[in-house]
């Protein structure tokens, strides 16, 4: 593919602006490969192996003047100017050895959507694996839901990572002297760690004994007693454990179940659906039922938009029936590889996770407002 559009005459006929950019790009130094921690590698290995087989569209409905291009060996219908930027991103990825979407764990691309007034309707936007990269916060007209979500994201980050969540702050101003590539790379890493932390958090919810072991460690004991995590739960049921926090005295099974009930409430806040069934650790509860007793999820309440009369709202991890298979807090919220995100950013695209101002948080989404094809390789304003 590269030989085809690198040919001078072919390049000039197809994408004249791209030709100049690629010539300059060839003089640049090769892109440095990033190394991930073992836990991050394991995370992406799991994601790649657990997803369904690649969904291939048998036919591309692409009205003129939009064009069908190939990105990561997948066909997609887009505006010609977005196509130029995706071709640049494709070249950057090829330099790093990525020629197939499967190498990056990419399953599905969505570009043009007929009948929409958004950038998707113009062919100027791209969604990548929407099922596993949801819009996690700051959707329009959902400030009331955002307040609930922010508390959950903060509890997960504090309990698992020992730091505040960056998710409620997405879309904020970056440091004036920080290059865009460095800014996106830094926030990507922070988001990735929170995505992995979410997986671990709800895995502990499922496994009460592992949760009990974790809160018996020094970090776990300290983090479980923060006002933003489980202080209110612990103080209500075991005041002595708050006054003398010691890892030598593990929390009782009954108290661990109370922590899990809070985590189950967090699950409902994120998904709007009941999660996996959880057996109670408290033997006293089980004996009352003469059999295994399951913890009960809290009631499911419909999400409230800012104006219920005119607007609708949803929760970020709602699979919406079978529309988004695989969408679950147990899988986190970020399966896009860093190499892919940075290639798209370096080609001049905006990332919905960071570049939407107060509505930032759309992990799956990349777009461009450059309909004149004169900003190849530079970010849109």
- Torsion angle in degrees (nearest 10) through CA of 323, 326, 330, 331: -120
Rg of the chain on CA atoms, in Å: 23
First to last CA, the chain: 31
- What pTM, to 2 d.p., does this model score? 0.83
Write the CB contacts of 3 (distance below 8 Å, at least 6 apart in sequence): none
pLDDT of residue 117: 85
Length of the chain: 381
Q: Return the SS3 of 126.
A: strand
Cα–Cα distance, 188 to 204 (Å, whole number): 24
User: Which H/E stretch holds residue 254?
Assistant: helix 253-271
pLDDT of residue 376: 66
For 91-186, where are the E strands, in sequence order? 109-110, 125-128
Q: Which CA distances in Å does 78 have to 88, 90, 119, 122?
A: 14, 15, 10, 8
Cα–Cα distance, 99 to 163 (Å, whole number): 37
Cα–Cα distance, 350 to 369 (Å, whole number): 9
Q: Token pair for residue 334?
A: 């970020």
Cis preceding linkage at 332, omega within 30: no
Number of helical H runs and strand E runs in the chain = 14, 6
Q: Token pair for residue 175?
A: 């440091």
Q: What distance separates the 2 farthest-apart alpha carbons in the chain?
A: 81
Q: Token pair for residue 223?
A: 């983090």
Q: Which CA distances in Å does 271 have to 264, 351, 352?
A: 11, 24, 21
Residue 120 DSSP symbol? G
Q: Return the SS3 of 300.
A: coil
pLDDT of residue 238: 65
> pLDDT 10s digit of each residue in the chain, 381 long?
434 444 444 444 445 555 555 454 544 434 334 433 455 555 554 444 333 333 333 357 899 999 999 999 999 999 999 999 999 999 999 999 999 999 999 999 999 999 888 999 999 999 999 999 999 999 999 999 999 999 999 999 999 999 999 999 999 877 778 899 999 999 999 999 999 999 999 999 999 999 999 999 999 999 999 999 999 999 887 655 555 555 556 789 999 999 999 999 999 999 999 999 999 998 765 555 556 789 999 999 989 898 888 788 999 999 888 889 889 999 999 999 999 999 999 999 999 999 999 999 999 999 999 888 876 666 665
Q: Token pair for residue 90?
A: 């494709």
Write the CB contacts of 240 (distance below 8 Å, at least 6 apart in sequence): none
Cα–Cα distance, 288 to 306 (Å, whole number): 44
Cα–Cα distance, 255 to 238 (Å, whole number): 8
Give percent helix, percent strand, percent coil of the chain, each to the nearest 5: 45, 5, 50
Residue 110, phi then psi, degrees to nearest 5:
-130, 120
Q: Return the SS3 of 294.
A: strand
Strand partners, 70: 75
Q: Token pair for residue 44?
A: 């992406």
User: Other CB atoms closer than 10 Å to residue 335's CB: what's the count?
Assistant: 27
Would you list the DSSP string of 314-334?
A: --TT--TTTTSTT--GGG-S-
């Amino acid at each position: 593919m590269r030989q085809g559009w690198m040919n001078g005459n072919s390049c000039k006929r197809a994408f004249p602006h791209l030709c100049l950019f690629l010539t300059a790009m060839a003089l640049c130094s090769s892109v440095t490969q990033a190394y991930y921690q073992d836990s991050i590698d394991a995370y992406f290995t799991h994601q790649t192996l657990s997803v369904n087989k690649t969904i291939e569209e048998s036919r591309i409905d692409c009205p003129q003047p939009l064009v069908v291009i190939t990105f990561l060996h997948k066909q997609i219908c887009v505006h010609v100017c977005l196509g130029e930027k995706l071709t640049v991103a494709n070249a950057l990825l090829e330099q790093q050895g990525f020629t197939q979407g499967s190498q990056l764990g990419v399953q599905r691309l969505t570009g043009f959507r007929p009948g929409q007034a958004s950038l998707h309707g113009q062919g100027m936007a791209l969604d990548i694996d929407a099922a596993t990269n949801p819009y996690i916060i700051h959707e329009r007209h959902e400030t009331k839901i955002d307040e609930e979500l922010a508390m959950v994201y903060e509890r997960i980050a504090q309990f698992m990572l020992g730091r505040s969540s960056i998710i409620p702050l997405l879309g904020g101003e970056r440091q004036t002297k920080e290059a865009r590539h460095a800014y996106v790379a830094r926030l990507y890493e922070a988001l990735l760690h929170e995505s992995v932390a979410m997986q671990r958090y709800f895995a502990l919810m499922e496994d009460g004994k592992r949760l009990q072991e974790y809160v018996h460690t020094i970090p776990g004991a300290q983090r479980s007693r923060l006002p933003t995590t489980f202080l209110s739960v612990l103080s209500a049921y075991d005041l002595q454990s708050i006054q003398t926090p010691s890892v030598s005295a593990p929390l009782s099974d009954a108290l661990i179940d109370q922590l899990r009930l809070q985590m189950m409430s967090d699950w409902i806040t994120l998904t709007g659906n009941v999660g996996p069934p959880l057996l109670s650790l408290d033997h006293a509860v089980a004996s009352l039922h003469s059999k295994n007793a399951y913890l009960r999820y809290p009631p499911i309440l419909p999400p409230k938009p800012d104006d219920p009369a005119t607007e609708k709202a949803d929760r970020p991890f709602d699979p919406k029936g079978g529309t988004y298979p695989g969408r679950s807090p147990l899988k986190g919220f970020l399966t896009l590889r860093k190499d892919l995100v940075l290639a798209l950013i370096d080609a001049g695209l905006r990332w919905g996770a960071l570049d939407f101002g107060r509505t930032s948080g759309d992990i799956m989404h990349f777009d461009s407002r450059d309909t004149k094809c004169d900003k190849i390789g530079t970010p849109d304003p």
